[in-house]
Amino acid sequence: MLTLDLTNLQDALEGSTFPSLLGRVPEVHGWIESGSDPRPGNAYLGWRDLPQRITDAELAAQAACGARLRGLAPLCVVAGIGGSYLGARATIDALPAPGAAAIRYAGHHVDPEALSLLMAELSRNDFTVVVISKSGTTTETAVAFRLLRDELVRRHGKQGAAERIVAVTDARRGALRTLADQEGYETFVIPDDVGGRFSVLTPVGLVPIAAAGVDIAALVAGAKTVMEAAAPSPDYLPYRYAAARTALFQAGLAIEVLAAQSALLGGVCEWWQQLFGESEGKEGVGLFPAKVQYTTDLHSLGQWMQEGPRTVFETFLAVDGPASGITIPSDPDDLDGLNYLAGREVAAVNQAALEATRFAHLKGGVPNLTIHLERRDARHVGALFAFFERAVAMGGYLLGVDPFTQPGVEAYKQAMFALLGKPGARFADEAEWQGYQKRPAAVQSLDL
């Protein structure tokens, strides 16, 4: 069960655009379902019924691939960036499987020190690779994969390396597809009609998730339940969430903080941050999506949340049970003063912290809502992915933007390629770059 609790938003939504936004839901739902909105993002609507279209044979093939990788080596490196790894990492972190291969991540940065540390670890352990890229030329991922592939070839030869590499890429074209066909890698296809940040339930997410030993069939089943329930109704939970957060943005709240009660759901919050940031942050509108983990961040950002600028609202992500059963022991000296909690489950402390935080932040001027998961398992995590995907599609259209494109992401890439001397690359405006370089310097140093 997934529950949406708007109790602590009622005052903030009173007199807002919430009712009128709910009134638009049937029309916008029609755009999403029929692809009738003329904007270019309609080429990427394959996520809507994706869980229903995944066959048992496809799930079995991906699960078998995961089992094969686990049998080959104790480590598996997932190489991808953005939507090509965030969904997998979110799921793997949320649902650790005992005895599964340890997962490492690469290709989501070009930090030389972090890459050196990873390669040093891999030099001491056998490993496999799942490389995820539609083109095979994304700089961060391509750099990491070249390093990983070179190490595997050095250690196992070309054939041994090929057995340890799985490529998730385009069906027909691109550098990675060409290489995979030449070398004989096992491959899975990235659908053309599913954008990267919506791709967690494609092989982009499911193959590495299977390698980590997670039940991908249950993950897809949970998402399927949410997608099949989609209806042009303001009572459909993802659309109600979308309308509420859009109304708060239109009322002047600029930041939404997703607060995870479970430390294991931090990766889900990071996935959510990309999904909503890339989908809505354009044309001068869109909430800024920020993530925290409570109670940890109450000891760092708690003061700001309680008494900072009142431009923020919170969405709490709570897991209701079942708890782990860990209880707090008694201590005869009671130096820490915790004997009043002796015999009680740690889960009760966590629950009390959640309720206290919801109350205190509301009284401090931060409206909040809560999304409850009945339990932390593959089915509920899959349902949560589908919930947010449906919500962001509705929310983007309610804001008047195309939720399926990300033109702003290309700006840094164009400048970086020009700086690195990539053949054919140039600055969009050379005069602007020259002016940028000629700015008066304002640099100071402190000797250490």
| pLDDT score recorded for residue 409 | 65
For residue 429, pLDDT over 70 is answered with: no
pLDDT score for 155 = 94
Same domain, residue pair 65 and 23: no
Residues 108 and 31 in one domain: no
What local confidence, expressed as pLDDT, does residue 38 receive?
64
Tokens describing residue 82: 């953005």
Out of 179, 194, 216, a domain closes at: 216
Residue in the block written with tokens 């509420």: 244
Residue 197 to residue 274: CA distance in whole angstroms: 7
The average confidence (pLDDT) of the chain is: 91
pLDDT at 49 > cutoff 90: yes
The letter for the amino acid at 299 is H
User: Is residue 442 assigned to a domain?
Assistant: no
Residue 425 is assigned to a structural domain of this protein: no
DSSP tag of 401 = S
Number of helices and strands (H, E) in the chain? 17, 10
Please determine, for residue 412, whether its predicted confidence score (pLDDT) is greater than 90: no
- Check whether residue 333 and residue 381 sit in a common domain: yes
Contact 92, 208 (CB under 8 A): yes
pLDDT for 367: 97
Residue 40 pLDDT: 63
Residue 388 has a CB neighbour count (10 Å cut-off) of: 24
Phi, psi (rounded to 5 degrees) for 345: -75, 145
Report DSSP letters for 205-227, one per residue.
HHHHHHHTT--HHHHHHHHHHHH
Does residue 371 share a domain with residue 319? Answer: yes
Q: Taking a C-beta distance cutoff of 8 angstroms, is the pair 39, 399 a contact? A: no
**110 is a domain residue:** yes
Q: At what angle do helices 86-94 and 203-211 cross, to 10 degrees?
A: 40
For residue 150, the domain's CATH number is 3.40.50.10490
- For range 383-402, the mean pLDDT: 96
Does residue 255 or residue 328 have the better pLDDT? 255
Is residue 56 one of the residues assigned to a domain? Answer: yes
Amino acid, res. 385: F
Q: Which of 163, 186, 216 is the last residue of a domain?
A: 216
Q: How confident is the model at residue 98 (pLDDT cuts 50, 70, 90)?
A: confident
pLDDT for the residue 442: 83
User: Residue 258: enclosing H or E segment and its boundaries?
Assistant: strand 255-260
pLDDT band, residue 44 (cuts 50/70/90): confident
Q: What is the mean pLDDT of residues 241-262?
A: 97
How large a percentage of the chain has pLDDT more than 90? 77
Identify the band that residue 439 occupies on the pLDDT scale cut at 50, 70 and 90. Answer: confident
Catalytic residues: 278, 299, 413
Q: Examine the pLDDT at 42 and tell me if it is beyond 80.
A: no
- Tell me if 398 sits within 8 A of 246, measured CB to CB: yes
Scan for tokens 């354009």, then name that residue.
282
List beta partners, residue 370. 5, 316
As a whole number of angstroms, the distance between CA 13 and CA 248 comes to 7
For residue 54, what pLDDT is reported?
A: 96
Q: Which of 432, 409, 425 is nearest to 83 (CA)?
A: 409
User: Do 164 and 268 share a domain, yes or no?
Assistant: no
**Are 259 and 211 found together in one domain?**
no
Q: What share of the chain is helix, strand, coil (3-state, %, to 5)?
A: 55, 15, 35
Domain count within the chain: 2
- Whether 14 is covered by a domain: the verdict is yes
User: Do 249 and 296 fall within a single domain?
Assistant: yes
Residues 309 and 362 reside in one and the same domain? yes
Same domain? For 188 and 277 the reply is no
Q: Which of 216, 245, 265 is the last residue of a domain?
A: 216
| Model pLDDT for residues 169-206, shown as the tens digit of each residue | 999 999 999 999 999 999 999 999 999 899 999 999 99
The boundaries of the domain holding residue 236 are 2-36+230-399
DSSP letter for each residue of 331-376: -SS-TTS-GGGTTSBHHHHHHHHHHHHHHHHHHTT--EEEEEESS-
Q: Are 114 and 224 in contact (CB under 8 A)?
A: no
Q: What is the pTM of this model?
A: 0.92
Q: Residue 106: in which H helix or E strand, if any?
A: strand 102-106
**Residue type present at position 104:** R
306-316 pLDDT, tens digit per residue, is: 999 999 999 99
On the 0-12 / 13-18 / 19+ scale of CB atoms within 10 A, 332 is exposed
Query: Is 246 part of a structural domain of the chain?
Result: yes
200 and 237 assigned to the same domain: no
Give pLDDT, residue 97: 86
- The strand pair at 2-5 and 127-132 is best described as unpaired
Is the Cβ–Cβ distance between 103 and 219 less than 8 Å?
no
What's the rounded mean pLDDT across residues 341-358? 91
Do 78 and 133 lie in one domain? The reply is yes
CB 350 within 8 A of CB 341: no
Residues 247 and 298 occupy one common structural domain: yes
Output Rg (C-alpha) for the chain, integer angstroms. Answer: 24
Q: Is residue 445 part of a domain?
A: no
**Integer Cα distance of 69 and 102 in angstroms:** 11
Q: How many CB atoms lie within 10 A of CB 368?
A: 23
Structure tokens at 429: 């405006």
